[in-house]
Amino acid sequence: MTEASAEPVADVGVIGGSGLYELLPDVVEHVVDTPYGPPSDPVMVGAVPGGRRVAFVPRHGRDHRFPPHRIPYRANLWALRSLGVRQVLAPCAVGSLRPEFGAGTFVLPDQLVDRTSGRVQTYYDQGAVHVSFADPYCPVGRERVAGVAAAAGTDVVDGGTMVVVEGPRFSTRAESRWFAAQGWSVVNMTGHPEAVLARELGLCYTPIALVTDLDAGIEVGAGVNQDEVFAVFAANTERMRTLLLSAAAALPAEPSCGCAESYQEAGVTLP
């Protein structure tokens, strides 16, 4: 275990979701001190095939001790950026709002709807800092993930809206039916404020959503439960890990999108 270095040690970050608590077998742990407290766990840095350095942090902690509303989102993103990360892949478990997206489906959302409440969603508590968030996710990252998935014969749904709810409870049937009626694709509990914090830090952010269940409003029976979600994610962990490793290697050496421009235009300065 080492303290975080001032020199960049990785340029790609992965924030692991429910069920994904490890990514690489041979890693060095970095303890990172941030102005927002410690991240969910020490950041693990290792190399993917081809030699690219990747920094990994499990969103909920390795023992899943942080529920969605208590995750140290600001510390996690800050820690990754302090290690040199400029592009982030964010796997997550989601419920499907469309019957054709069954359990095990990969979805690459291109839009976000925030239905959380009370979460701190900015690094700036004073002064007017308004970053552009019309397109919340990195188009280049999504293109690269879709490309490596296609090359591997892995089907993904490219595009769709992810609605993020406060949790930790699951949706009622009425809520789920309302979300589906809006034309939204999947529902999740952790995608916000993670995405907007990444934007404030000038990071490219690409979610990779794994459908673990049909949300309550589009199925009959008891509705979604935690054991079901964890079981489906566990059954697809290797598929997700394979996709992440290939995607991390395929991201551009220098980001060619505009994800960092909005925070520069807003006059944001970072230490």
pLDDT, tens digit, for every residue of 91-146?
999 999 999 999 999 999 999 999 999 999 999 888 778 889 999 999 999 999 99
Q: Would you tell me which CATH number, out of the four given (3.40.1410.10, 3.90.230.10, 3.40.50.1580, 3.40.1010.20), belongs to the domain 10-258?
A: 3.40.50.1580
pLDDT of residue 50: 86
pLDDT of 3 strictly over 50 = no
Question: How far is Cα 106 from Cα 114, in angstroms, rounded to an integer?
Answer: 21
Catalytic residue of the set 33, 110, 215, 227: 215
Over residues 96-105, the pLDDT tens digits come to 999 999 999 9
Q: How many CB atoms lie within 10 A of CB 260?
A: 16
215 among annotated binding-site residues: yes
Residue from 181, 189, 179 nearest 226 by CA = 189
Q: How confident is the model at residue 1 (pLDDT cuts 50, 70, 90)?
A: very low
Distance (Å) of CA 125 to CA 37, 76, 164, 186, 188: 16, 18, 23, 31, 26
**210-247 pLDDT, tens digit each:** 999 888 666 655 566 676 777 877 787 889 999 999 99
- Neighbour count for residue 161 (Cβ, 10 Å): 18
41 is catalytic: no
Question: Residue 175 class from Cβ within 10 Å (0-12 exposed, 13-18 middle, 19+ buried)?
Answer: middle
What pLDDT is stored for residue 165 in this prediction?
98
Rounded (to 5) percent helix, strand, coil in the chain: 30, 25, 50
Please name the amino acid found at residue 39.
P
Residue 25 pLDDT > 90: no
**Residue 115 is assigned to a ligand binding site:** no
Mean pLDDT score, 200-211:
96
pLDDT, tens digit (0-9, with 9 covering 90-100), for 139-184: 999 999 999 999 999 999 999 999 999 999 999 999 999 999 999 9
The residue among 44 and 4 whose pLDDT is bigger is 44
- Could you state, in order of their start, the residue ranges of all structural domains in the chain? 10-258
Least confident of 62-66, 194-198, 254-258: 254-258
Q: How many other CB atoms are there within 10 angstroms of residue 111's CB atom?
A: 15
User: What tens digit of pLDDT does each residue of 187-197 get?
Assistant: 999 999 999 99
Higher pLDDT, 129 or 262: 129
Cα 44 to chain center, whole Å? 16
Quick check: is 215 catalytic? yes
Residue 268 has pLDDT above 70, yes or no: no
The one-letter amino acid code at 139 reads P
Q: Determine if residue 60 is labeled as part of a ligand binding site.
A: yes
Determine how many CB atoms are found less than 10 A away from the CB of residue 118. Answer: 7
